[in-house]
A and B are shown apart, each in its own frame.
Chain A
C-alpha cells in the first residue's frame, strides 16, 4: 500500500532523515516510534510532499509520489492529521469538512457517514473550529482527513493533550478504520497506546529507521523502549 524506501530529507541544510525505509499494508497500523527530534513528524511531512526529498522513493499503491507537488499527494488517497491538529481555526466545522470533501469530490452524503463516526461534530456544524474543546478538535481533524476517503491515513500524535475518554474514542475510530482496510501510519509517544493499537512498530533513532518489529513481540522486549525513549 505505502512503501517508503531509503528516503532522506530535512530543512534547509539540516538533514533530519537518513535512508528511512518501511512499509504499511492495507488494514494495518504501523507506529513510528522514537524520542523527540528523532524525525517522526518530518517523515510524515516528507510522505505528504510538504518537505521535498531528492533521495529515495515513496510509492502509494505502486505509484511514485515523492516527486509530486504537495497538493497532488492527497489525491492519491493519503489523508493526513498533523500534529497539533492544524484545523482552519476561523472556519466552521462544516467548512473544515468541506475542505476535506473537495479533495476527491465527495458529496454531503459521504460527509454524513463521517459525522456518524463523530456525532458530536454534527451538533457543532456551524461553530468555529477554534471554539471546540481539544477532543472535539481532534475529532474534527480526524473527520476532515476521513472526508477525502483515504486509503492511507497518517496520524501525528492524535492523542496528545486529550483526556482519557477522548483518547479511547480516537483509538476506537483508528481501529475501525484499520478494520475497514485503511493503511494507518501512526506517530505516537505513549507506550500504552502503541502496544494497544499497533500491529508493527518502526523505531526511529536520530533520523534512521530500524527494521519493523511486531507489536506482540515488543511485550517481551522491554529493552527496546528503554533504548529508544528511555522508559
Chain B
C-alpha cells in the first residue's frame, strides 16, 4: 500500500479541521486573554452559528450560494449579539469573577443548548455548499520518460473545503490586523495587560469586555457557518469543538494568538492523519494526552508565559 496519497488526504482533512478550529480557538483565547473568563459555553456559539446558518440559508429561495452568503453575513453578528446580551445579563453582574464565570457559562451552555433543541428540534440539518466541485490531486512519479503526474484513485478534495481553508486564513489575518494595527486592538491589548491601569486611562473596560465576548462568539459562529456544509447542524454539535478548542488554547498558551494558531494546526493535522490511518476516537485520545503532557511539563504552553 502506498502511504503518500493517504498522508496527503489526511493532511487536507486535517487542514480543514485546523482552519475551523483555529477560528473557534482564537475566539476562546481572546475571551480568556482579555477577560480572564473561561467560557465553557463557547462551543454553543459555534452550534448557534451553524443552526442559524441552516435557518437563514433555508429561508432564502433560489441559488444555494445566496443563502450561504446571507448566512455568512448574518449568523456571526446575530450570535455575537446573543453573546453581548449574555455578557451584560450574567458575566457583568458577577463582576467577571474567574471562578463564578465558569459556573455561569456552564449554565449558559445548557440554556442555549436546550433553547435550540426546543426551537429547532433534535434533527441534524444539512446546508448545501455554495459550490462543491470535486478536485483530484495529482502526485509526481518517476517514469522512463522522467517525472510525470499521475492521479491516484480517491485522492482528492472539494473546492468548498479549499475555500474553508482560505476563508479561515483570511479571517485570521484580519484578526491579526485588528489586534496589531487598529485603535480597538490597542485598547484590547492594554485591557488584557492591566485592567486597572486601562481604567485610569479612560478605557471603558466593561464595554471592551462585552465587545470581546461578542467577537469571540462571532468567530466561533463563523467556524460553525463554514463547517455546516461539511457536517450537519445539530444542537449537540458544540461539544467536540469545545473540547478541541480548550486543548488548542492550553497547548498554544493561554491568551496567546500565535500559539493558538500553531496548536490548532498541530491538533488539526494530527487529527486528520490519525483519523485516516486509525480512528477519530484515537485522535481525540492522543490530543487529550498531549494536553496532560503540556499541563505537567510545560503548563504555559508553546507561547504562554509562566505565572510568577
| Contact assessment for A74 and B200 in the assembled complex, using a CB-CB cutoff below 8 Å | yes
| Contact assessment for A91 and B201 in the assembled complex, using a CB-CB cutoff below 8 Å | no
Q: Which residue of B lies closest to A81 (CB)?
A: B200
> B203 on the interface (CB 8 Å rule)?
yes
Residue picked from B189, B190, B198, most chain A C-beta under 10 Å: B190
Residue picked from B183, B187, B199, B203, most chain A C-beta under 10 Å: B199
> A221 on the interface (CB 8 Å rule)?
no
CB-contact partner of A50 in B186, B187, B199, under 8 A: B199
CB-contact partner of B201 in A49, A74, A90, under 8 A: A74
CB-contact partner of A91 in B193, B196, B202, B205, under 8 A: B193
In whole Å, how far is B308's beta carbon from the nearest beta carbon of chain A? 13
Given the complex of chains A and B, what is the CA–CA distance between A86 and B196 in angstroms? 9
> A229 on the interface (CB 8 Å rule)?
no
**Chain A residues, CB < 8 A from B202:** 71-75, 102-103, 148
| Contact assessment for A50 and B200 in the assembled complex, using a CB-CB cutoff below 8 Å | yes
CB-contact partner of A88 in B183, B197, B204, under 8 A: B197
> B2 on the interface (CB 8 Å rule)?
no
Given the complex of chains A and B, what is the CA–CA distance between A133 and B205 in angstroms? 29
> B194 on the interface (CB 8 Å rule)?
yes
> A39 on the interface (CB 8 Å rule)?
no
Q: Which of A94-130 contact B (CB under 8 A)?
A: 95, 98-100, 102-103
**Chain B residues, CB < 8 A from A91:** 186, 189-190, 193
| Contact assessment for B201 and A99 in the assembled complex, using a CB-CB cutoff below 8 Å | yes
Could you give, for residues 171-212 of chain B, a 1 whenever the CB lies within 8 Å of some chain A CB and a 0 otherwise? 000000000000100110110011011111111110000000
Given contacts A71-B204, A71-B205, A102-B183, contact A88 B190 (CB under 8 A): yes
CB-contact partner of A90 in B193, B197, B198, B204, under 8 A: B193
| Contact assessment for A82 and B190 in the assembled complex, using a CB-CB cutoff below 8 Å | no
In whole Å, how far is A179's beta carbon from the nearest beta carbon of chain B? 25
CB-contact partner of B199 in A70, A88, A98, under 8 A: A70
Given contacts A71-B204, A71-B205, A102-B183, contact A90 B189 (CB under 8 A): yes
Given the complex of chains A and B, what is the CA–CA distance between A73 and B198 in angstroms? 12
- Count of chain B residues with a beta carbon within 8 Å of a chain A beta carbon: 17
**Chain A residues, CB < 8 A from B201:** 74, 99-100, 102-103, 144, 148
| Contact assessment for B193 and A89 in the assembled complex, using a CB-CB cutoff below 8 Å | yes
**Chain B residues, CB < 8 A from A95:** 186, 189-190
> A48 on the interface (CB 8 Å rule)?
yes
In whole Å, how far is B303's beta carbon from the nearest beta carbon of chain A? 12
Q: Which of B215-264 contact A (CB under 8 A)?
A: none
In whole Å, how far is B307's beta carbon from the nearest beta carbon of chain A? 15
> A80 on the interface (CB 8 Å rule)?
yes
Given the complex of chains A and B, what is the CA–CA distance between A75 and B197 in angstroms? 14
Given the complex of chains A and B, what is the CA–CA distance between A73 and B197 in angstroms? 12
In whole Å, how far is B232's beta carbon from the nearest beta carbon of chain A? 42
| Contact assessment for B197 and A70 in the assembled complex, using a CB-CB cutoff below 8 Å | no
Residue picked from A71, A74, A86, most chain B C-beta under 10 Å: A71
Q: Which residue of B lies closest to A96 (CB)?
A: B190
**Chain A residues, CB < 8 A from B187:** 99, 102
| Contact assessment for B200 and A48 in the assembled complex, using a CB-CB cutoff below 8 Å | yes
Q: Which of A192-214 contact B (CB under 8 A)?
A: none
**Chain B residues, CB < 8 A from A50:** 196, 199-200
Given the complex of chains A and B, what is the CA–CA distance between A99 and B188 in angstroms? 11
Could you give, for residues 63-92 of chain A, a 1 whenever the CB lies within 8 Å of some chain B CB and a 0 otherwise? 000000111111100001010001111110
Q: Which residue of A lies closest to B196 (CB)?
A: A50
**Chain B residues, CB < 8 A from A90:** 189, 193
Given the complex of chains A and B, what is the CA–CA distance between A101 and B204 in angstroms? 15
Taking Cβ atoms with an 8 Å cutoff, the residues of B that contact A are 183, 186-187, 189-190, 193-194, 196-205
* 6 other A-B residue contacts (CB within 8 Å) besides A99-B190, A99-B201: A74-B200, A82-B200, A88-B190, A88-B193, A88-B194, A95-B186
11 pairs across A/B with beta carbons < 8 Å? A50-B200, A70-B200, A71-B205, A82-B200, A87-B197, A90-B193, A91-B193, A99-B201, A100-B201, A102-B202, A148-B201
Taking Cβ atoms with an 8 Å cutoff, the residues of A that contact B are 48-50, 69-75, 80, 82, 86-91, 95, 98-100, 102-103, 144, 148
In the A-B complex, the 8 residue pairs with the closest CB atoms: A70-B199, A103-B202, A86-B197, A74-B202, A88-B193, A80-B200, A88-B190, A71-B204
